[in-house]
Amino acid sequence: MPRKNLRRKRKRTRVTPEIIGKMAELRRRGLTYKKIAGELGTALQTVAEHVRKAGLGGGRRKVTGEVLEEMRRLRREGLSYRKIADKLGLSYITVLKYLKRDGGLLAGLRRRLGLKSSHRSG
């Protein structure tokens, strides 16, 4: 005798504008869809749908200014690139690329002050 309704019934979370706002906020902070879904108790596909609609989708996590500042802060605290990557959910190569390109604190200060770097090109 064939069995009907083999699908599991899942508890549906009512997605309110507040929850969508939280999804967007968590995504801006760099959380993955999976982490956002776990945090808010929603399905991964629900998070993906709403985050994409908010224009915050994308396969790769973007390193925002906020994330870059967090990388710098953790590096100043003495964390290795690997530990920074693990802590922020980034790849080691991404952290290495951004912090090496950044040139360190002195280069950033020079840029902010509009001073030229000490090396010459060409």
Q: Residue 40 domain-assigned?
A: yes
**Containing structural domain, residue 37:** 17-53
Sign of the alpha-carbon torsion through 86, 89, 90, 91: positive
Mean pLDDT value of segment 32-52: 89
Higher pLDDT, 118 or 67: 67
Looking at the fold, whether 73 and 43 belong to one and the same domain comes out as no
Residue 61's pLDDT band, with cuts at 50, 70 and 90, is: low
The domain total for the chain is: 2
Looking at the fold, whether 97 and 70 belong to one and the same domain comes out as yes
Looking at the fold, whether 74 and 102 belong to one and the same domain comes out as yes
pLDDT at 84 over 50: yes
Looking at the fold, whether 49 and 70 belong to one and the same domain comes out as no
Looking at the fold, whether 46 and 79 belong to one and the same domain comes out as no
Secondary structure of 56-84 in the HEC alphabet?
Answer: CCCCCCCCCHHHHHHHHHHHHCCCCHHHH
The Cα–Cα gap between 13 and 33 comes to 16
